[in-house]
């Protein structure tokens, strides 16, 4: 539900803007609808991950669903942009719990060679939400007659899920460990989440047509640095810091987190640029350009499922390297697209997009299992949160870099091409020549971006090859029944 709702807003945003009388040509006024959700999502990850390690997965799920439901209520009933942004932020805070808690629960229930396939299944469901979300949002809004109905529907769904959780609480693990709430570094988790949430707000462009970063990047950046400094200061004074020394010193942890960060940065290039390429260069309609991306998105959950199975058989390192290399090769092939791939002969482009998505999907389970094993059974929630954090921040950083590069590079390419528009030609010929020159400049820019994404994937593969050699916690040292706080509080 959280994954579907995250992506549903992609197709609902124009309707939401029109309903609140926000001018469609001032998209920057709607930016907080997206950035607020992302900031809330990032802030919630360490907080609710830590909460679940202390009080159990079911209480943390319940808190996440309640906050998500409250956010959905505010969003659906919003009569102003302020209420809408508040609702979306609360949705992010609640939704930030659902994915890492699902990963942590899988790690509670499975260990050793069974861990990666379980994580692959969870990740496959999560990535399927990215496929269904835009379609679900558009179809449901059309059927119900309003975008608000999509968010109203979240309320009974959240209530049913919450009721199911409470009814089944305590049945699976009668030997669950007692709560250890007082031993959790709540202040550290809050400062950590706050610092990262401010980074998201600072980097997310509020007017991408003019500048690559938020217009308030300086004060937000300074506030983020202050929160990070306070977090470090506090951690040095804690006998049991949020992220312990064993985790910080683990090469496997850093390999997985940095690879997730780089992978998120490379992933966002396809998510943003493929629809723009379809519209701006190949003349596809908005719907056709959006549907083109579904080839990539379908590959993600399929790759995630396959990655879990392969990691259990071939090992994390080989599977992760294979996925990153597959994504790099696919991006390299995409950088050679000419003028026919998306129109007269789309099969090649569709196959390459699907393979790129599958490559990114293959990486998820092996890297996630590496982080969760390093975190250990007592911090599965925090481990799952760190994985999602790294990928989300990578996407935000990639979007900022993509916007900055695109704004500057297109103008340089266009100026260097010397279009040679005939001065004596009629207006129609001049317009045609200008359009051809613009499309050529755009195509060259997209080629370069795909090559950059391929290089980022190769760099991530090298880091995994070198650093993931170092083991995390060996599976034979894990408890025989690592079922911690699944239902510790009822």
Q: State the pLDDT confidence band at 324, using cuts at 50, 70 and 90.
A: very high
Domain extent listing, the chain: 2-477
Q: How far apart are CA 53 and CA 382, in angstroms?
A: 7
Write down the pLDDT at residue 451.
94
Within 13 A of 150's CA, how many CA atoms are on the CB side? Answer: 27
Write down the pLDDT at residue 426.
62
Whole-number Cα distances in Å, 40 to 49, 195, 300, 346, 377: 14, 12, 24, 39, 26
Percent of the chain with pLDDT over 90: 23
Burial of 50 (0-12, 13-18, 19+ CB in 10 A): buried
Q: What is the mean pLDDT of the chain?
A: 80
Q: What is the pLDDT of residues 246-264, one digit of tens each?
A: 788 888 899 999 999 999 9
Q: How far apart are CA 86 and CA 7, in angstroms?
A: 18
Q: How far apart are CA 260 and CA 254, in angstroms?
A: 10
Q: How far apart are CA 98 and CA 102, in angstroms?
A: 6
Write down the pLDDT at residue 476.
35
**Structure token pair of residue 435:** 């359009």
DSSP track, 447-478: HHHHHHHHHHHHHHHHHHHHHTTS--S-GGGS
Does 112 or 86 have the greater pLDDT score?
86
Q: How far apart are CA 462 and CA 203, in angstroms?
A: 27
Q: Which of 452, 424, 466 is nearest to 269 (CA)?
A: 452
Q: What is the pLDDT of residues 377-433, one digit of tens each?
A: 888 888 888 998 899 889 888 888 887 777 677 667 766 666 655 555 566 666 666
Q: State the pLDDT confidence band at 182, using cuts at 50, 70 and 90.
A: low
Span of 117-121, 139-143, 293-297, 314-318 with lowest mean pLDDT? 139-143
Q: Is the pLDDT of residue 302 over 80?
A: yes
**Structure token pair of residue 195:** 């610092």
2-477, which class in CATH? mainly alpha
Residues 6+ apart with CB under 8 A from 269: 331, 398, 402, 449, 450, 452, 453
**Structure token pair of residue 228:** 């990070």
Write down the pLDDT at residue 484.
40
Q: Residues, the chain, total?
A: 490
Q: How far apart are CA 181 and CA 104, in angstroms?
A: 17
Alpha helix ranges (H) inside 376-426: 380-417
Q: What is the pLDDT of residues 431-459, one digit of tens each?
A: 666 666 677 777 788 888 999 999 999 99
Q: What is the pLDDT of residues 276-298, one digit of tens each?
A: 777 777 777 666 766 778 888 88
Write down the pLDDT at residue 21.
75
H, E, C per residue of 268-331 = HHHHHHHHHHHHHCCCCCHHHHHHHHHHHHHHHHHHHHHHHHHHHHHCHHHHHHHHHHHHHHHH
């Amino acid at each position: 539900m959280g994954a579907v709702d995250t992506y549903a807003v992609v197709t609902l945003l124009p309707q939401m803007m029109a309903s609140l009388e926000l001018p469609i040509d001032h998209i920057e006024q709607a930016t907080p609808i997206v950035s607020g959700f992302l900031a809330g999502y990032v802030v919630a990850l360490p907080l609710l991950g830590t909460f679940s390690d202390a009080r159990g997965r079911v209480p943390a799920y319940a808190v996440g669903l309640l906050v998500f439901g409250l956010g959905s209520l505010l969003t659906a009933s919003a009569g102003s942009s302020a209420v809408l942004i508040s609702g979306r932020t609360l949705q992010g805070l609640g939704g930030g719990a659902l994915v890492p808690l699902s990963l942590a629960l899988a790690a509670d229930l499975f260990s050793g060679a069974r861990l990666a396939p379980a994580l692959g299944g969870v990740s496959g469901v999560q990535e399927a939400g990215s496929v269904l979300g835009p379609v679900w949002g558009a179809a449901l809004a059309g059927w119900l007659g309003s975008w608000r109905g999509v968010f109203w529907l979240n309320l009974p769904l959240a209530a049913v899920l919450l009721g199911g959780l409470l009814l089944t609480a305590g049945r699976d693990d009668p030997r669950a460990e007692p709560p250890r709430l007082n031993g959790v570094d709540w202040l550290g988790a809050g400062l950590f989440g706050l610092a990262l949430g401010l980074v998201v707000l600072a980097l997310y462009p509020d007017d991408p047509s003019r500048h690559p970063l938020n217009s308030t990047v300086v004060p937000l950046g300074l506030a983020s640095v202050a929160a990070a400094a306070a977090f470090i200061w506090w951690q040095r004074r804690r006998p049991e810091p949020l992220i312990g020394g064993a985790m910080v010193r683990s090469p496997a942890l850093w390999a997985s987190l940095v690879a997730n960060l780089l992978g998120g940065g490379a992933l966002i290039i396809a998510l943003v640029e493929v629809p723009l390429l379809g519209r701006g260069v190949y003349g596809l309609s908005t719907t056709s350009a959006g549907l083109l991306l579904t080839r990539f998105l379908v590959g993600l959950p399929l790759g995630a499922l396959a990655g879990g199975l392969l990691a259990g058989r071939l090992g994390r390192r080989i599977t992760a390297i294979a996925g990153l290399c597959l994504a790099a090769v696919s991006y390299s092939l995409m950088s050679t697209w000419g003028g026919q791939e998306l129109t007269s002969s789309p099969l090649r482009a569709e196959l390459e997009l699907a393979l790129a998505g599958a490559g990114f999907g293959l990486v998820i389970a092996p890297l996630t299992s590496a982080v969760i094993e390093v975190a250990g059974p007592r911090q599965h929630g925090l481990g799952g949160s760190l994985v999602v954090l790294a990928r989300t921040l990578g996407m935000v950083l990639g979007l900022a870099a993509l916007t900055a590069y695109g704004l500057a590079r297109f103008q340089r390419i266009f100026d260097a091409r010397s279009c040679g528009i005939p001065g004596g030609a009629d207006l129609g010929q001049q317009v045609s020549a200008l359009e051809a020159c613009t499309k050529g400049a755009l195509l060259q820019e997209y080629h370069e971006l795909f090559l950059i994404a391929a290089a980022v994937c190769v760099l991530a593969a090298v880091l995994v090859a070198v650093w993931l050699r170092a083991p995390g916690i060996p599976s034979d040292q894990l408890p025989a029944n690592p079922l911690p706080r699944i239902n510790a509080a009822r």
